[in-house]
Amino acid sequence: MPRWWTGLRGVPIALLAAPFVPAFFLALASGEGKLIGGCIAAFAGVGLAMSRLARARRGDARRAGVLLGVAMGLAAGFAGGTGGIGAFVLGLMAWAGARLLYDGVKEAAPPPAPRPAPAPDTLDPMRARIAALEEGDRRLLPAAREMRALLDELALRPDAAGQARRVLSVGVDGLERIGVRLAQGATPPGTLPVLVDDLARAARQSAEDLRAAETEALEIQVKVLQDRLHREGIA
């Protein structure tokens, strides 16, 4: 069904508010507060019911009927002077008429709930720090690159802990401190290249240890599965 056609579904109930239009202006001219209130209730109820029908989501026809019934009941009570029972009966009739008129109309399912935002990556701050080191003093670049390689290995194993994380934390922190001194014009000592090589070697070894641990775990899983297949008589 075209969207513009769906938006016109509530037009028939607008006829219910038509008699209140001249009554509203007469009430304004005469200053009758109850009549003004009844007309406003009718306009509001019909408008809200029409908006629900135009939206055409699941349950909107039922909500439109309730809104229309309440509005017509209030309008009858205030503007028509029907009293409580009369207002209730007229509101019930308006609700029943709306239900009969729009019962079974096609309604769209409610929109799906928005997807939850992805959890922030806890390694992002460390990536930014290493990127800054890579853009800094070139003498620190070999160690910074090995630190990035180690970080990539840790990203594949979020639960990994121990020596690899300590090497990464201590190495990046130390390189940052050295980079700040070099940027301020400090003369590097002769042992700086040795230190950079040591940090690069430690990061490289930690990455290899992580891969070796994964290889060992895989070998154990393969052996366990082979043993189970033999016990089950499958192989």
pLDDT at 170: 93
Give the separation between CA 182 and CA 142, rounded to whole angstroms. Answer: 16
pLDDT band with cut points at 50, 70 and 90 for residue 5: very low
Q: Using one digit for the tens of pLDDT, what is the confidence trace for 155-170?
A: 888 776 678 889 999 9
This prediction has a pTM of 0.50
pLDDT at 17: 67
Q: Enumerate the domain spans of the chain.
A: 3-102, 124-232
Q: C-alpha distances in angstroms, 159 versus 122, 148, 156, 162, 164? A: 12, 18, 9, 10, 11
For 57, phi then psi, to 5°, come to -95, 165
